[in-house]
Structure 1
Amino acid sequence: MAPTARAAVGVRLWPQRYAIARLIAVPDPLPSPPAGGPPIALIIDHDEVSLVAPEEVVEAQGGLVERVATGWRALTLEATFPLTTVGLLAVVSRALADVGIPLMVLSSYDTDHFLVPDETLGRALAALSQTR
């Protein structure tokens, strides 16, 4: 049976403001955070390249940026989860949806990161604190 998301999990708030950008090409060199730095995601799919990173990292891409949405805040779940964990993102998504907050989710091998609009950060943290 797959593990389920029931235990309390800490949330780390990254201090940087984030941007979500659509790029016209894959950056070269690839952007990377310093060790222990904030998460960065480069997503390449069948018809677009997206970069999710602190605003200054996206700005550094210059002419590669086709469209950008700024003013997001990144939070990281402070735990390692098996890939078979069931319902973890559903808990986060439901808590934020119940108070009308949109989110963007990024998953790494061990954990999950999510972004909320900066102006909703206080309400998002309050909603998430109620899920513990």
Structure 2
Amino acid sequence: MDPTQFLQDGAVRISNDTYAVCRTDYSHPTAFATVQDDTETTVVVEAGEAGKIDADEVESGWKRLTFEMDLPFELVGFLARVATELANADVSVFVISSYSTDHVFVKEDDLDDAISQLEELGCIILNRSDGG
């Protein structure tokens, strides 16, 4: 499978919310995502929730871009293609993959550059004015 066929005319929704990525020892019931491994727990929460978390470190100011498409497990190179294009624009990413899609977080200051790069890949950007 070619990632290009998923990117061309693929919808990417920009969340209205801004997020914080927190290193903590605990999960949080309202977290967008919780990732726990042997050494730490990371929670991604809406920015306003970050102050309610007992966190060792907090990185705020992230916008979520969700690829609104079912991405099959056999698809090779999708995130590599996206990350490479964003890296070419000097945009740092934080990525969370769910069962069927990917969520790419970019800093608010980099959002316009990220949108431009995704549009060059053929993506259709859905944003706040589209009900996102």
- In the superposition, the TM-score normalised over structure 2's length comes to 0.84
Identify which of 34, 42, 59 aligns with 2:34: 42
Decide which of 79, 97, 104 is 2:94's aligned counterpart: 104
Match of 2:30 in 1: 31
Question: Structure 1 residue 11: deviation in Å?
Answer: 0.6
Q: Is the 8 A contact 1:19 1:72 kept in 2?
A: yes
Aligned equivalent of 2:11:
10
- What are the superposed Cα offsets for residues 18-75 of structure 1, whole Å, 9 maximum, x if unpaired? 1010012234xx225xxxxxxx1100001100001211233332xx211100011110
Partner of 2:118: 128
Deviation sequence 1:73-111 (CA, Å, 0-9, x none): 110001001111111101110110111110011000000
Gaps of at least 5 residues in structure 2 are: 123-132
AA paired with 2:13?
Answer: R
Unaligned runs of 5+ in 1: 33-39
Of the three residues 73, 82, 91, the one matched with 1:83 is: 73
User: Using the alignment, how far apart are the partners of 1:19 and 1:57 within structure 2?
Assistant: 8
Counterpart Cα distance in 1 of 2:49 and 2:101: 22
TM-score (norm 1): 0.84
Q: How many residues align?
A: 119
